[in-house]
Amino acid sequence: MAIHPIEYRYGSKEMKKIFEEENKLQKMLEVEAALAEALAAYGIIPKDAAETISKKANIREVKIERVKEIEKEIKHDVMSVVKALSEICGDAGKYVHLGATSYDIVDTANMLMIKEAVEILLKDLMEIKDILKEIAKKTIDLVCIGRTHGQHALPITYGFKFANWIDEIDRHIERIKTIKDKRLVGKMSGAVGTYAGFGKLGEDIERYVMKKLGLKAARISTQVISRDIYAEIILNLALIASSFYKFAKEIRNLQRTEIFEVSEPFGERQVGSSTMPHKMNPINCEKICSLARVIKSYTIVALDNVSLEHERDLTNSANERIIIPECFILLDEILKTFKNVIRDLKFYPKNIEKNLYMLKGINLSEAIMIELTKRGMNRQEAHELLRNLALKAMRENKNFLEILVKDKTIRKYFSEEELSNLLEPKSYIGLAREKVMKILEET
Cα–Cα distance for residue pair 296/352, rounded to 1 Å: 33
Do 177 and 321 belong to one domain?
yes
Examine the fold and report which residue of 95, 125, 158 is the final residue of a domain before the chain moves on: 95
Q: Which residues are catalytic?
A: 149, 273
Q: Which of 400, 406, 392, 391 is nearest to 422 (CA)?
A: 400
Q: Which of 389, 366, 388, 369 is nearest to 378 (CA)?
A: 369
Do 115 and 159 belong to one domain?
yes
CB 147 within 8 A of CB 153: yes
Do 254 and 397 belong to one domain?
no
Do 138 and 256 belong to one domain?
yes
Q: What is the CATH number of the domain that holds 322?
A: 1.20.200.10
Do 297 and 338 belong to one domain?
yes
Q: Which of 30, 12, 10 is nearest to 22 (CA)?
A: 30
pLDDT at 190: 96
pLDDT at 281: 83
Q: Please provide the DSSP assignment of 389-415 as one string.
A: HHHHHHHHT--HHHHHHT-HHHHHH--
pLDDT tens for the chain, 443 residues: list them: 888 999 889 999 999 999 999 999 999 999 999 999 999 999 999 999 999 999 999 999 999 999 999 999 999 999 999 999 999 999 999 999 999 999 999 999 999 999 999 999 999 999 999 999 999 999 999 999 999 999 999 999 999 999 999 999 999 999 999 999 999 999 999 999 999 999 999 999 999 999 999 999 999 999 999 999 999 999 999 999 999 999 999 999 999 999 999 999 876 666 665 566 666 788 899 999 999 999 999 999 999 999 999 999 999 999 999 999 999 999 999 999 999 999 999 999 999 999 999 999 999 999 999 999 999 999 999 999 999 999 999 999 999 999 999 999 999 999 999 999 999 999 999 999 999 999 999 99
Examine the fold and report which residue of 63, 95, 127 is the final residue of a domain before the chain moves on: 95
pLDDT at 279: 63
Do 153 and 295 belong to one domain?
yes
In total, how many domains does the chain have? 3
* Helices and strands, counts by H and E, the chain: 19, 6
pLDDT at 16: 97
Do 345 and 301 belong to one domain?
yes
Q: What is the pTM of this model?
A: 0.94
pLDDT at 1: 83
